Amino acid sequence: MKKILLASTVALSMAGFAKTTVYAEDSQATNNVQSSEKIATNTVSNEKKNQSEAEKATSQTPETKEQPSKETVVEVVNKEGWQKENNQWRYYEDNQPVSNWKKIAGVWYYFNQDGIMLSNTIFNDYLLNNSGALAESSWVKIDNQWYYATEDGKVTRNNWKKIAGVWYRFDENGIMISNAVYDDYLFKASGVLAENSWVKIGDKWYYGDQEGKINRDKWAKIDGQWYRFDESGVMLSATIYKDYLLKTSGAMAENAWAKLEDKWYYATASGKIIRDKWEKISGSWYYFNKDGVMLSSQWKEKYYLKDSGAMAKSEWIFDEKYKSWFYLKSDGTYAENQWVGSYYLKSFGYMAKNEWIFDKDYNAWYYLKEDGVYVTGNFTINGKDYTFQSNGKWITDSASYYKVKPITANVYSASGEKLSYISQGSIVAIDGAEAKDGRLPVKISGLSGYMNKSDLVAVSSDSDFIPHYATDGNYLYHELSPYASIRVAPHSSSMAIGKKYYSTDGINFENFTVENPFLFRDLRKPSNYTAEELDKVYSLMNIKGSRLAGKGAIFKEAEERYQINALYLIAHSALESSWGRSQIAKDKNNFFGIAAYDTTPYDSAKSFDDVDKGILGAAKWIRENYIDNGRTYLGNKSSGMNVLYASDPYWGEKIASIMMSINSKLGEKD
């Protein structure tokens, strides 16, 4: 409520000071500001008119209220004009307080028989404001209730009144009706008639139409939304009315969700809820029961409805009730009696764990661990050791092949002495000897020995790739993987095109032997190629961006200085540094993998100052560590440099293959 400083002040006759400034409040509804002491312009009541001309003359004479003197007054002072006594106002004339109506400075006041000015009250239906002035066409608040005075100062009773263009209603006591329904008309807290607007009374909402009347027992479309009102005119909210879903706001839900008492419902475009059926909403399926409640965190036949209510699909869920994992397929049904990756889902969708499963489709047994994943390799179940293939199949008989699991694994003699080591993923064959101290007898790349069972996992030739040899009619190739093969020897008439041949040393086969021309060649013998011819190698092999290109003279210098075959050095560097293009070659000028250990190849690799020193330094290192120790040929894992130089069991065979290819390009001089 704005406070308005009253413009009128009464001139007091003797004291020489102005009457205390008085404030009044305007109506919060209309903002119609009225001065409580404004000059009266209308005809006053008969009671005022009966006053004497002398009183009227006196009331129009400017006077001031007496201010008590600060000095001791010996003489009795006559009182004139306004006087405040015992916190009450009186008006004096001829030293006597006036009573009844009195017009002072153009404003009417009323004084009782004791001369006390009445204020903030109703007297004989006249409305007196807080300053005591007669209220004319203005608002007055008395005891927290609002009243309105007509132009002649009388209170408005049991009537409608349009004030400043807005309608108000006053009861029989003259009190403005507010925040209430009267005769079906709705009034705001400000008292204004609610026209096309909402009003909250207590905790209930009502709506006044264009006439200000409430809606009873009907639908109403307001600002594009449908609302339902009961017989009392109260807006329905957070409820279902004749299958129509009404949100917390009261608006009817249309293609929308609403939560009522911790339960979710969904209304279609018609506003009605969905009952006892599936519904696809925003791309997900939901199920609603007969009461229209969305189901969640539970099963609906073979389907699972998540916390959100959406049907699970193409995902795992854990059901706390059944203490099991389930997999829901793309159609939403649970998987059963089938594999999902490394997991097996049994009847009714339960995930198998800590149990054996026989799959008739694969005619094989599997064991599923605590986490549900099938076992591979060696595994102990109830104190008994079992061996499984990499695809989880239990190997009922002794396996023929195993794959190396760690980055590198050692091969031992029968007495436990380390013979060599081989790299991760290498396939070893079982040689049929007895196992020793938990180690299996194996053969690979010409080496026979024993390996820790824990380093191996069984593989099957039925489902896993087993390295083998094959011919194209020109050369015999060692097929190392489905994607890589190396040339190892010329074709032999004993070989059949299209047939797979198996050998654990690459030399001895079923009914023939193979001689690899470079695998066991003495590397101390020089190459027959000149430096100029060796410079052609990189272009002939279509190698671009090599740091070794044009270094034929340096390779020949290394050959002469350290008595190591230059063709071998080029082939060796080609394998270890990707023809001089690897990161280690670029950053460290290390082209031969010196000290580039399997676990930390880049960090541990030795550095050289430049390319030339990288070639010469490596040749010197090979001479001192291998050639001088009797390892004068590439060989395999049983003899030669390959035993200790590299974990790759076919390292020597690969270098020999590169030598064979270069030799073929340069004219078969070596």
Q: Give the model confidence (pLDDT) of 375-393 as tens digits.
A: 998 899 998 888 888 899 8
- The pLDDT of 534-546, averaged and rounded, is 96
Residue 16 above 80 pLDDT?
no
User: 567 phi and psi, to 5 degrees?
Assistant: -60, -40
pLDDT at 75: 60
Q: Could you tell me whether strands 81-85 and 355-359 are parallel, antiparallel, or unpaired per DSSP bridges?
A: unpaired
pLDDT at 395: 74
CATH of the domain at 628: 1.10.530.10
- The pLDDT of 322-347, averaged and rounded, is 97
Going by pLDDT thresholds of 50, 70 and 90, the confidence category of residue 67 is: very low
- The pLDDT of 227-237, averaged and rounded, is 97
Residue 124 above 90 pLDDT?
yes
Residue 211 above 70 pLDDT?
yes
- The pLDDT of 565-578, averaged and rounded, is 97
Domain termination site, one of 137, 160, 183: 160
Taking the alpha carbons at both ends of the chain, their separation in whole angstroms is 112
Domain termination site, one of 98, 127, 160: 160
In the chain, the percentage of residues whose pLDDT exceeds 90 is: 79
CATH of the domain at 143: 2.10.270.10
Note whether residue 379 is domain-resident. no
H runs (alpha helix) in 435-579:
531-535, 537-540, 552-562, 566-577
Note whether residue 185 is domain-resident. no
pLDDT at 33: 32
Note whether residue 447 is domain-resident. no
pLDDT, tens digit, 9 for 90 and up, residues 618-656: 999 999 999 999 999 999 999 999 998 999 999 999 999
**This model's pTM is above 0.75:** no
Note whether residue 262 is domain-resident. no
Residue 260, number of CB atoms within 10 A of its CB: 17
pLDDT at 646: 92
346 beta partners: none
Residue 216 above 80 pLDDT?
yes
Note whether residue 250 is domain-resident. no
pLDDT at 25: 34
Q: Give the structural domain span for 34.
A: 3-70+78-160
Note whether residue 553 is domain-resident. yes
Note whether residue 200 is domain-resident. no
pLDDT at 497: 95
Domain termination site, one of 131, 160, 189: 160
Round to whole Å and give the CA distance between 614 and 331. 62
pLDDT at 349: 97
Note whether residue 641 is domain-resident. yes
- The pLDDT of 299-325, averaged and rounded, is 97
pLDDT, tens digit, 9 for 90 and up, residues 39-64: 333 333 334 334 433 333 333 333 33
Round to whole Å and give the CA distance between 241 and 231. 13
- The pLDDT of 248-253, averaged and rounded, is 97
Instruction: Identify whether the C-beta of residue 416 lies closer than 8 Å to the C-beta of residue 437.
Output: yes
Calculate the average pLDDT of the chain: 88
User: In the block, which residue shows the tokens 């009347």?
Assistant: 213
Q: In sequence order, what DSSP letters do the residues of 158-212 get, joined into one string?
A: SEEEEETTEEEEE-TTSPBP-SEEETTEEE-TTS-B-SSEEEEETTEEEEE-TTS
- SS3 at position 575: helix
- The pLDDT of 206-231, averaged and rounded, is 97
Lowest-confidence pick of 1-15, 143-157, 402-416? 1-15
Instruction: Identify whether the C-beta of residue 591 lies closer than 8 Å to the C-beta of residue 573.
Output: yes
**Total domain count, the chain:** 2
